[in-house]
Amino acid sequence: MTKIISRDNPRHSIQPTISLILEKSCYMFGNLMPEEIENLLHNQLIGRIGCHLDNTTYIVPISYAYDGEFIYAITHEGMKINIMRQNRQVCFEVENIPDLANWQTVICWGQFEESPNGTERNEGLDFLYQRQLPIKTSDTTKLSPNWPFRPNSFDEIKGVVFRIRLTKKTGKFEKREKASVCSWQ
């Protein structure tokens, strides 16, 4: 005898002989709402900067902190800083991809602002120190040799502190949900 039963309530059968579970996948694809964009920017630790100069586009991952208006980061002298100093218009991307059928991504555009010395640099470093980092982390996310402890002075921290003033944000998502249809027993 074959019965159709709910997958959520399989107690209808004592000795199943054949079990075939049919699942219906519901796909959703669309734009993230503004609050979802903000949530993703606040909760990720790694993003990618895209910058461009003289027919060269450069995309590089960075660890960052976001305060609702600015992306804050620290780096060393190199290609991305050289490009951003000459072309302050940049792109920033962040994502959450648990699997290829469930993902969120945000792309932002903005303007590079270097914080070379003084109050702005210290405020940027202070904000970066407030991030919630995992216990296991890379050396590039550690701001000082005594990380996670603050140094006596932010002047001890080497590197270029900068921020990106975000002017435009957009986001997309895909989500697949599985819904049980029935079980044949």
Q: What is the pTM of this model?
A: 0.73
| Residue-level pLDDT, tens digit, the chain, 185 residues | 444 443 444 554 444 444 444 455 677 889 999 999 999 999 998 999 999 999 999 999 999 999 999 999 988 899 999 999 999 999 999 999 988 889 999 999 999 999 877 888 878 877 787 766 655 555 555 555 555 556 666 666 678 889 999 999 999 999 887 644 444 44
Give the C-alpha separation, 108 to 15, whole Å: 57
For position 142, what pLDDT does the model report? Answer: 52
Q: What is the DSSP string of 104-116?
A: EEEEEEEEEEE--
Instruction: Give yes or no for a contact between 71 and 154, defined as CB atoms under 8 angstroms apart.
Output: no
For position 101, what pLDDT does the model report? Answer: 84
For the chain, which domains are there?
25-178 (2.30.110.10)
